[in-house]
Amino acid sequence: MDKQNIVVTYNASPEQKALLLEVLGSLATLTFLNEIQSAQREQTLERADVLLSWNFPREILPHEYPRLQHVKFIQLISAGADHMPFAELPSHIIVASNPGAYATPMAEHVMAMTLALAKRLLIEHQKLRNGEFDQFTPNRMLSGTTAGILGFGGIGRATARLMRAFAMHIYALNQSGKSTEPADFIGTLQDLEHVLRASDVVVISLPLTRTTKGLIGKKELAWMKPDALLVNVARGAIIDEEALYTHLKSHPTFMAGIDAWWTEPFLHGTFRMDYPFLELPNVLGSPHNSAVVSNILLEATRQAAENVKHFLEGEKVIGIVRREDYLW
């Protein structure tokens, strides 16, 4: 049987290249797109069976999409697939994301943001800089509070494990309303109001899809407790930007940790805020770096490569996304 042709469309590091060759070299011929001559590019894409991509729209140009008729499978290094141009790709192509690959560091980031907000660390640090020693404004204890985790995949489950160590109650939502991970309540998005009203901390770890875009707006924010903490490590567009800013400004005891923004370099080529979130004392921001720790890309590459291996060997593949969820 002829070897399959895998084209790696992103600029892999030497360590990633070695790993990909180790896992997939015996099953397929690997071509690294950044290493070939531009004259060979179209022919290489036409012969590809599998693409291994990171930021697909930056790596494959729209006029090249018709060259992908032979491609059967696209494996993403990223955990999300909302950047994929599904409407423009041949409909037969299977696309798999990389679920859970970044779950551990992202869960730690959620916990760090939650603790920093609950303990008012940024607020009190700023007061100290200004010469104010505010010892007696209470901060908050997490023990015994309820965390509502919207999205109970790899990131959500890893977050729940850390939060249970703080004796927090876990209310979780996913697509099925079922999970093997312990939770005090597990439901679907049909239970969103119930979970938002009950939660002291709300964590957003959902994929951005047609269903979840704009999921949290003025009405949903009003369901939440006046002093709730909201932490978003998923995608900015899951929350209505104007509604969140307005709610934060009018509810000074409501706090938000924002790691995922509405306009970011990965998708848009630049970072921009339409509202001055970082001027608000009840906001803590980070530059969507919750997953960025040493060696994480190598670990994510290994998981992605193993998934490609399973596809080539006819075994079960994880992370297959439903095309219709991303037809905006």
Which of the residues are catalytic?
Answer: 235, 264, 288
The whole-angstrom separation of Cα 9 and Cα 44 is 11
Contact 83, 266 (CB under 8 A): yes
Residue 209 exposure: Cα atoms within 13 Å on the Cβ side: 12
Across 62-96, b (16+ Cβ under 10 Å) vs e yields eeebebbeebbbbbbbbbbbbbbebeebeeebebb
The whole-angstrom separation of Cα 257 and Cα 270 is 20
Q: Hey, what are 16's tokens?
A: 């990633």
The whole-angstrom separation of Cα 36 and Cα 325 is 34
Place of tokens 């779950």: 103
Q: Is 284 helix (H, G, I), strand (E, B) or coil?
A: strand
Q: Hey, what are 18's tokens?
A: 């070695």
**Sheet (strand 50-53) strand order:** 28-32, 4-8, 50-53, 73-76, 94-96
- What does residue 7 show for φ and ψ, rounded to 5 degrees? -110, 120
Residue 264, class by beta-carbon neighbours within 10 Å (0-12 exposed, 13-18 middle, 19+ buried)?
A: middle
The whole-angstrom separation of Cα 187 and Cα 161 is 18
Contact 203, 150 (CB under 8 A): yes
173, β-bridge pairs: 150, 187
H helices of the chain, where?
A: 14-24, 38-47, 56-59, 103-118, 121-129, 154-164, 192-198, 218-223, 241-250, 265-268, 296-312
